[in-house]
Structures are given as C-alpha cells and as structure tokens.
Amino acid sequence: MIDSNQEGTGGAESTRLRGLPFMDLYVRLDPKGRGEARYRSPARDYSNNWSRPLPDLYRAEVEAMATLLAEDGARADSAFSYDGMRFRRSVQKMGNGQLWVTLRRINARVPMLEEMSVSEQLMAQLRRFGQRDGLILISGPTGHGKTTMGFSLLSDYLHRLGGVGITVEDPVEYDLDGPVGEYGYCYQVEVEDEDGWVEALKRALRWTPRYLFVGEVRSPRAAEQILRAATTGHLVITTIHAGSIEESIMGLLHLASQCVGDAAPYMLAQGLTAAWHQTLTETGPYLRYVFTEENNNGDPVRALIRENKVGMINSYIDKQIARVGAQRGVDPITGKRT
C-alpha cells in the first residue's frame, strides 16, 4: 500500500516511478540487496522531507534500474537516464560492504525566469545583468536550486540577447545544447574528473563565449580561471556551496588565492557583478543579494573585497534589498505587496 502522505497517488501515471514526486532516490546496488530503495520528497517542510522506504508498487522498476546502474560501467559521479527521467548519480561503497547510489532527479526543462518566484523588480535587475560582463556568484545549501537559477538566467540571456553560451559541468544537468531563441546558441561540456575542469575552462574561453556557466567552483585553478574569464569580457555564472553571501565570497577568494596570491581580492573586486544566496522554503525562495555598480571601481562592495573586509558587506546587502523593494512597495524577497 502506498503511504497515505505520498503525493501523486492518483491516476495510471502514479503506478510508474516517474509519476512519484521525489527529489532523491537511494538504491542499493550490490546483488544481496538489489532493488532496496528509499526516497526523499521534494517538499520543503521537514515532515515530508524525510527519507522513507519506496512503496512496493515501484519495486520492479527499481530492480531494473539497479541492474542497469550496476552494469553500465559509468563513472561513480555522472548523469543517468531512465524512462524519460534524468538523474545526477553518486555511487558509494559503505563501511558494511553494501553498494548504494543516490540519484538526484533533474528536471530536463530549463524553467523560465518568470517561474522562479522572484519579484518583478528583482527579475528586472537580474535581466539587466545579461548586458554586463563579470561574475554572478550563486550560493546556497545543497538542493536549493542554485543550478536551476543559473540555467534560468543563462537561458533568458541567450533567448533575449543572443550570443554563444558554454556550460562546463560534472555532469551536464539541464539540456540547453543547441539553438536558444533566434540568435543564441549553447554548447555544453561535461567534465569527467577533477583535473578536467581547468582544461575545459581554458578551451571554453577560446570559443569566445558571451556567457559561461560553470557548474560549481571546486578547485583553486578553476577559481582562477573563473576570475580571469570574469575580468576579460565574459559574463560568468557559477555556483558555490555556502551559508551566506559573505561565506561564498570568502570561499572563492580562498580558492583563487592559492593560485594568484594577493591578486585574488583585486580580481574578484573588479569582476564581481552580483552575489546571490538562496534557500528554498515551503512558500518559495528566500533570497539575499548584493550588486555592484557597472564601471565603478569605487563601488563600496568592490572596495570592501579589495580591503579584505568581506564581513562588512552585510550592511550593503540590507540596503540594496530595501532599495529594490521600495521601488514599487513590495517585499523584495517574497515579491508580495506590502
């Protein structure tokens, strides 16, 4: 019997795994436990976000998936497709000898910026960034929509403004490859190991892209390449795991400084266009952001980064959020009228 709290239990489609709303699927791959599975709901309230056993209704499909996953010989961290669903997988051998895989479900369709539940005033600001160079740094916890937001921005810029976009990812998640709008085109590069990031970024820049999306900042050399791209005429969108805007900036500086030393704060100060932190809640995204002024080296946020006073940026974050919200009398975070 299906859990009474489970979503999507009505209709024929619910008898297929693709009809079950879930964020993560946990499947045991070793022969003794083949077919064991748990899942996590995409709901944002904690009562529905627990890991729970997958109903027996889906056992046959899970066993078929487990067989494919165990036999396909792909990398432990890579993409996986099954029955019209696309996943980001991560295989791990446990201390007790069991072999498990986590499958993060990926929505193949890139959502439009209008679907991202941000206020009209903030959306207008984000769209203006498509005409600038520099770096958009999106931070937040795992599973809170950083990649989704990044792709939504990239797709919007290519649709409206055209140009060449390149994504560098591990693995490729959303499918944006090919023509985007009337004058835009996107090429997607999948990196196969940690050493491949730097070379992929170097090659991407030789294609003279207008936009560059980097799936996640992971290494000092990749951070260096991101900052160089952001200061040489490209608009770079990237994500980083962090608990706040300040932490994301300090994390990027820490990585980049291992390659470029004391030049890292100056490069980031010059290149930063916007820093963004988001968490998803039951009612939508909770957002904090800070923007820099275009072609203004005296911008206070840039000055604080150059002077290694990142912790003081918080006061400017609050001022900018209030200023955006005051434009039309709306809450700048939720978009609701005040």
Kindly indicate the confidence band of residue 131, based on its pLDDT and cuts at 50, 70 and 90: very high
Structure confidence at residue 47 as a pLDDT band (50, 70, 90) = low
The ranges assigned to domains in the chain are 12-106, 113-326
151-207 pLDDT tens trace: 999 999 999 999 999 999 888 888 899 999 999 999 999 887 777 888 899 899 999
pLDDT digits (tens, 9 = 90+) for 92-121: 999 888 999 999 888 778 989 998 888 888
pLDDT band at 223 (very low <50, low <70, confident <90, very high): very high
For range 292-309, the mean pLDDT: 92
Where residue 130 falls among pLDDT bands split at 50, 70, 90? very high
Least confident of 45-49, 110-114, 275-279: 45-49
Residue indicated by tokens 């997988």: 89
178 Rama class: left (phi>0) / alpha (psi -120 to 50) / beta: left
Model pLDDT, residue 327: 53
Q: Are 238 and 226 in contact (CB under 8 A)?
A: yes
CB-CB contact of 236 with 230 (8 Å): yes
Amino acid identity of residue 180, one-letter, is: V
CATH class of 113-326: alpha beta
* Architecture per CATH, 12-106: 2-Layer Sandwich (3.30)
Q: How far apart are the C-alpha atoms of 210 and 324, rounded to whole Å?
A: 27
| Token code pair at residue 193 | 């190991």
Classify the phi-psi angles of 43: left when phi > 0, otherwise alpha if psi is within -120 to 50, otherwise beta: beta
Helix (H, G, I), strand (E, B) or coil at 193: coil
pLDDT for 9 equals 40
Higher pLDDT: 9 or 105? It is 105
